Chain A
């Protein structure tokens, strides 16, 4: 076990805290100091809550000393993506339109973290309203990849992935609408899980696309993701789309790490062409590790995946154009009075505010969604996309008759350079090609590191997909693969990432 508290996993910290070997204040202090040392170059955080985190740590330490029964993760600090409402803490969603907004309530996920006694270190950077694959669409500037500061940390949860990869937090909360937990995990060498749609409450999550959004864990190990998954999952009466069913035994599955006799399906449409050779090579090796661990490999075909990206980029903007109508300058957020208008109307104020408050990508998607939903085009665009969505769900259902889980490279490439795709939306969108189908069908997915690509020495991701509400299977496969890879590498992949403290001086 490492003695550096910032490099310890959440499971290790939980053991140390439970044994009384370390206090939550010491852990929290160490992570805040690490943030002071490196976040100037990584820029994972939009807001650090030093006082709040230390107060929560002290509270847990006091309760532990008093002999109270505490949650297993009590005292383990966490960072939260700025898309979740946090009572008393600024919540901007990476947008100017919400700059300075302090919610009067907690999202259910945040409430559960607080109830478990997990100090909240701060709010992590993100693409504005979670629209993007690089965090470059944040109104407050991009986050950087700890492996190479000139590259993207993924998006939209680049703050949540980079905060974990740069050892500023053992855990973070992300949200995944088309891959925003899994793709950032892949390009930063971390683990990220999108639970089954409805498995984790969306109450207090600023909605992007309500039928696709799902909050989930970001961590450095598969077990840590499972531990966090268990804290945040479960039915919530405040969210009418929350699934009222028992949470799958994810922690048990991660500890069991068994794939013997399991059928692993390789999706023909998500391999080979279009995938960077080094990413594909690490994927192939990982599959071999699973075979060595006793799994059987089968090939499956999901022909409708060809249309997944197109369907997604119609459904998402359509739902976003509706969800973002609430930013109307009336009840909260920014209000801008148009120039040169005497006694402007509410409508004029709204239009001026939305022009000033929204960034380019948000405007682009709102207008695209407005078009796709407009009379005369609805059937051709949104209606067709909904039918494609059904075909994709059918493809998954058929694939899961042959295979227990499906596996793919998480993202087609390693982290691209900041700025490389900013002026080419379609090229940026292509980065989510392997993650999007799961969101359309509502099934769970997990990404874990598969190694470093030969071409550039950057992390590649391995994605595991399972049927809805069988999230535990992700963790069995993920943990089994992680153990074999760590043995082959001689330790965690992140040990090879730059330390960053020299850079930041």
Chain B
């Protein structure tokens, strides 16, 4: 299961939205293979009838009254934006041409 190919890593990088160079892909195939082989040992643990635990606390939904409170100004909210105009985030085109 841990024999990850270069194509697999390229596919995963695509899913993760990271453009990896050819050199990065080559290096990462080897590194991820070693790591995956090691972490795959979780399957050898006696986990057959064990309830998964996703979080250390029993989580409950937290709500608050729906009332207006002070918040960031538009200027503050946009202060870290790479580009903005008319009090909005300015982003590259989202839809393809076809």
- Which of these, A240, A330, A351, contacts B18 with CB under 8 Å? A351
> Is A391 a contact partner of B45 (Cβ separation < 8 A)?
yes
Cα(A30)–Cα(B70), bound, Å = 38
Quote the shortest CB–CB distance from B55 to chain A (angstroms).
5
* Interface status of A381 (Cβ within 8 A of chain B): yes
Residue of B nearest to A211 (CB): B55
Cα(A87)–Cα(B42), bound, Å = 42
In the complex, which residues of chain B have a beta carbon less than 8 angstroms from the beta carbon of A389? 52-54
* Interface status of B66 (Cβ within 8 A of chain A): no
- Which of these, A310, A333, A344, A354, contacts B42 with CB under 8 Å? A310
Residue of A nearest to B72 (CB): A104
> Is B35 a contact partner of A374 (Cβ separation < 8 A)?
no
> Is B79 a contact partner of A102 (Cβ separation < 8 A)?
yes
Quote the shortest CB–CB distance from B73 to chain A (angstroms).
8
Quote the shortest CB–CB distance from B48 to chain A (angstroms).
9
Quote the shortest CB–CB distance from A358 to chain B (angstroms).
7
Cα(A281)–Cα(B77), bound, Å = 54
Interface readout for A27-38 with B: 1 if CB under 8 Å, 0 if not? 000000000000
Residue of A nearest to B34 (CB): A426
Residue of A nearest to B21 (CB): A355
- Which of these, A197, A211, A332, contacts B54 with CB under 8 Å? A211
A310-B38, A331-B81 known; A383-B17 Cβ under 8 A = no
- Which of these, A104, A345, A351, A468, contacts B94 with CB under 8 Å? A345
A104-B77, A347-B17 known; A314-B54 Cβ under 8 A = no
Cα(A352)–Cα(B92), bound, Å = 13
Interface of B, helix, strand, loop or mixed by DSSP: loop
Quote the shortest CB–CB distance from B69 to chain A (angstroms).
11
Cα(A426)–Cα(B40), bound, Å = 13
> Is B41 a contact partner of A307 (Cβ separation < 8 A)?
yes
Cα(A366)–Cα(B14), bound, Å = 11
Number of residues in B with C-beta < 8 Å to the partner? 57
Q: Which of A184-240 contact B (CB under 8 A)?
A: 197-198, 211, 237, 240
* Interface status of B50 (Cβ within 8 A of chain A): yes
* Interface status of B57 (Cβ within 8 A of chain A): yes
> Is A330 a contact partner of B54 (Cβ separation < 8 A)?
no
In the complex, which residues of chain A have a beta carbon less than 8 angstroms from the beta carbon of B77? 104
A307-B45, A374-B12 known; A386-B52 Cβ under 8 A = yes
> Is B36 a contact partner of A387 (Cβ separation < 8 A)?
no
* Interface status of B3 (Cβ within 8 A of chain A): no
A105-B72, A371-B32 known; A343-B52 Cβ under 8 A = no
- Which of these, B28, B50, B62, contacts A364 with CB under 8 Å? B28
A330-B91, A346-B91 known; A387-B47 Cβ under 8 A = yes
A104-B77, A197-B56 known; A333-B82 Cβ under 8 A = yes
Cα(A355)–Cα(B14), bound, Å = 11
Cα(A130)–Cα(B50), bound, Å = 30
In the complex, which residues of chain B have a beta carbon less than 8 angstroms from the beta carbon of A371? 4, 8, 12, 32, 36
A211-B55, A368-B32 known; A388-B18 Cβ under 8 A = no
Cα(A122)–Cα(B62), bound, Å = 33
Number of residues in A with C-beta < 8 Å to the partner? 72
Q: Which of A61-118 contact B (CB under 8 A)?
A: 101-105
A364-B31, A371-B4, A386-B53 known; A381-B20 Cβ under 8 A = no
In the complex, which residues of chain B have a beta carbon less than 8 angstroms from the beta carbon of A243? 57
Interface readout for A435-475 with B: 1 if CB under 8 Å, 0 if not? 00000111000000000000000000000000010000000
* Interface status of A45 (Cβ within 8 A of chain B): no
Interface readout for A311-340 with B: 1 if CB under 8 Å, 0 if not? 101100000010001001111111100100
Cα(A331)–Cα(B78), bound, Å = 7
* Interface status of B43 (Cβ within 8 A of chain A): yes
Cα(A406)–Cα(B94), bound, Å = 53
Residue of A nearest to B8 (CB): A371
> Is A367 a contact partner of B81 (Cβ separation < 8 A)?
no
Residue of B nearest to A441 (CB): B56
* Interface status of B85 (Cβ within 8 A of chain A): no
In the complex, which residues of chain B have a beta carbon less than 8 angstroms from the beta carbon of A101? 80
* Interface status of B67 (Cβ within 8 A of chain A): no
* Interface status of A399 (Cβ within 8 A of chain B): no
Quote the shortest CB–CB distance from B53 to chain A (angstroms).
4
* Interface status of B24 (Cβ within 8 A of chain A): yes
Residue of B nearest to A100 (CB): B80
Cα(A354)–Cα(B93), bound, Å = 18
> Is B16 a contact partner of A367 (Cβ separation < 8 A)?
yes
Quote the shortest CB–CB distance from A263 to chain B (angstroms).
24
> Could you list 13 A-B pairs, sorted by A, with CB under 8 Å?
A104-B72, A198-B56, A335-B82, A345-B94, A346-B94, A355-B21, A363-B28, A364-B32, A367-B9, A367-B18, A371-B32, A391-B47, A425-B31
17 further A-B pairs in the complex, CB-CB below 8 A; given A103-B80, A440-B56: A104-B72, A104-B77, A241-B55, A304-B45, A313-B35, A325-B17, A330-B91, A345-B93, A346-B91, A367-B12, A367-B13, A377-B1, A385-B39, A385-B42, A386-B53, A387-B47, A425-B34
**Chain A residues at the B interface, C-beta cutoff of 8 Å:** 101-105, 197-198, 211, 237, 240-241, 243, 304, 306-307, 309-311, 313-314, 321, 325, 328-335, 338, 343-352, 354-355, 358, 360, 363-364, 366-368, 370-371, 374, 377, 380-381, 383-391, 393, 425-426, 440-442, 468
Q: Give me the 10 closest cross-chain CB pairs, A-B, nearest first.
A: A442-B56, A332-B80, A335-B82, A386-B52, A104-B76, A387-B47, A390-B53, A240-B62, A355-B19, A387-B50
